[in-house]
Amino acid sequence: MRSRQAALPFILVTVLLDMLGIGLIIPVLPKLVTSLYGGDLSDGSAIFGWFVASYALMQFLFSPVLGNLSDAYGRRRIILLSLLGAGLDYLMMAFAPNLKWLFAGRIIAGITGANITAANAYIADVSPPEQRARNFGLIGMCFGVGFIAGPALGGVLGGYGLRVPFMATALLTLLNALYGFFVLPESHPKENRRPFDWSRVNPLAALLALGRYPVVLGLAAVLFLERLAHDSLPSTWVLYTTYRFNWTELDNGLSLAVVGIVYAVVQGGLTGPIVGKLGERRALIVALTIGSLSFLLYGLATAGWMLYAIIVFSGVSGVSGPAIQAIITRKVSVTEQGAVQGVLSSIQSVAAILGPLMATGLFGYFTSKAAPVKVPGAAFIASGVLVAIGVALAIRNSRLQPAMQPEALQVGES
Residues 246-290: tens digit of each pLDDT = 887 667 767 777 887 887 788 777 888 888 888 888 889 999 999
- Residue 1, pLDDT > 50, answer no
- Residue 303, pLDDT > 90, answer yes
| Whole-number Å distance between alpha carbons of 355 and 69 | 28
Q: Which of 163, 137, 160, 153 is nearest to 23 (CA)?
A: 153
The mean pLDDT value of the chain amounts to 79
- Once rounded to an integer, what is the mean pLDDT over residues 377-399? 88
Judge contact between 337 and 329, C-beta under 8 A: yes
- Once rounded to an integer, what is the mean pLDDT over residues 77-102? 90
Q: Would you tell me which CATH number, out of the four given (3.40.50.11810, 1.20.1250.20, 1.10.150.110, 3.20.20.150), belongs to the domain 1-132+140-181? A: 1.20.1250.20
Question: Which pLDDT score, from 0 to 100, does residue 383 have?
Answer: 94
- Once rounded to an integer, what is the mean pLDDT over residues 68-91? 87
Question: Which pLDDT score, from 0 to 100, does residue 171 have?
Answer: 92
Q: Which of 27, 181, 25, 153 is nearest to 89 (CA)?
A: 25
3-state secondary structure of 405: coil
Task: Quote the pTM value.
Answer: 0.63
- Once rounded to an integer, what is the mean pLDDT over residues 23-50? 66
| Whole-number Å distance between alpha carbons of 182 and 187 | 15
pLDDT bin (cut points 50, 70, 90) of residue 129 is confident
Q: What is the CATH number of domain 204-405?
A: 1.20.1250.20
- Region(s) of the chain under CATH 1.20.1250.20: 1-132+140-181, 204-405
